[in-house]
Amino acid sequence: MTTGVAIIGSGNIGTDLMIKVIRLSETLHVAAMIGIDADSDGLARARRLGIATSHEGVEGLVRLPEFADVELVFDATSAGAHPHNDAVVRSHGKIMVDLTPAAIGPYVIPPVNLDAHLDSDNVNMVTCGGQATVPMIAAVSRVAPVAYGEIVASIASRSAGPGTRANIDEFTETTAKAIEAVGGAERGKAIIVLNPAEPPLVMRDTVVCLVDGTVDEAAIRDSVQAMADDVRGYVGGYLLKQEVQFDAVDEAYVPALDRPFRGTKVSIFLEVTGSGHYLPEYAGNLDIMTSAALRTAEQLVARRRSAQRTGTPA
């Protein structure tokens, strides 16, 4: 028997997530799709699939009879809308998986720290840039102390909808905090680039880590490759574009650290191609978010099921 979930947000991210749950999940089913635009493609698709819908936001969700069978809710709206959605959903005892940069709950990057937050009732999926790059910073930091981590996420302009554009400030702030809190860097910085190239290019990410002193290059390469394999387990289009690069830095002043730095610059180059479930393959930035959210939801529900069987608190 599968567990019912609801999706708030009938835009690109919410619709892609709906399709992924239907096609890929053996443990979840979409009980409801919620939006605020009655004519949205996401709601229309949901209706054709026999899924309960409402265009009256989270209030419409709780009025649906199907809400009683929902155990987990995905929020694919915006950072500004999430606090209200979260308050309503959790007041009914449901788990919340937040795909906005609101970050009310702990940051979760599945291969890095999901196991530590399986008992949380609200988890935050950071950002698309965070899901792509924080695993790489964590891979470096688990074998060498990262003094500074910087990422540049370049995405196709066509794959950045109104919600993404409205949340760019939150994107950079949330991703930078996750570089530190989850990636393990002493300081972090995030930059997003909306690439207007035609035809659209797939998501490309550059990750730079500054490590004090000399490093064990083989250990870092092995750690990065192992982490990339873990991510590729749920994001098939996740690719290391070339070998990890190492450059000695004799001495440079790093404003973010407010001190001179001497050590090694580690550079990692990534490409993320989407699966094409609903969105074009170039929209890898959206695909990695929905893929990470699905992986997280399945594990959260599995944890709650296990707790129910054993009688231990979830």
Structural domains present in the chain: 3-125+289-310 (3.40.50.720), 128-280 (3.30.360.10)
- Which residues are identified as catalytic? 128
Summarize pLDDT for 66-81 with one digit per residue, the tens.
Answer: 999 999 999 999 989 9
pLDDT the model gives residue 107:
97
Instruction: Kindly list the distances between the CA atom of residue 217 and the CA atoms of 87, 238, 247, in Å, as whole numbers in the listed order.
Output: 47, 22, 11
Query: In 6-72, which residue ranges form alpha helices assigned H by DSSP?
Result: 12-24, 41-48, 57-63
Question: How large is the average pLDDT for residues 273-282?
Answer: 95
Q: How confident is the model at residue 252 (pLDDT cuts 50, 70, 90)?
A: confident
pTM recorded for the entire structure: 0.94
Helix (H, G, I), strand (E, B) or coil at 288: helix
160 is in an annotated binding site: yes
Contact (Cβ atoms closer than 8 angstroms) between residue 185 and residue 141: yes
What is the structure's pLDDT at 63?
A: 98
Is 237 annotated to bind a ligand? Reply is no
The pairing of strands 70-75 and 52-54 is unpaired
Q: What φ, ψ does residue 237 adopt, rounded to 5°? A: -90, 15
- Cα separation, 172 vs 35, in Å, equals 26
Tell me the C-alpha distance between 292 and 288, whole Å: 6
Cβ-count burial 54-69 (b if 16+ within 10 Å, e if not): beebbebbbebebbee
State yes or no: 159 annotated in a binding site: yes
pLDDT band at 161 (very low <50, low <70, confident <90, very high): confident
Check the annotation: does 12 bind a ligand: yes
Query: What is the arithmetic mean of pLDDT over 259-283?
Result: 95
Amino acid letter, residue 71: E
pLDDT for the residue numbered 168: 86
Mean of pLDDT values over 246-273: 93
Over residues 287-294, the mean pLDDT reads: 97
**Average pLDDT rounded to a whole number, residues 178-185:** 98
List, for residues 117-126, the tens digit of each pLDDT value.
999 999 999 9
Contact residues for 293 (Cβ-Cβ < 8 A; gap 6+): 17, 74, 97, 99, 125
167 is in an annotated binding site: yes
What average pLDDT does this structure show over 203-211?
97
127 among the known binding-site residues?
no
Supply the pLDDT for residue 312: 67
Tell me what the mean pLDDT of segment 254-267 comes to: 92
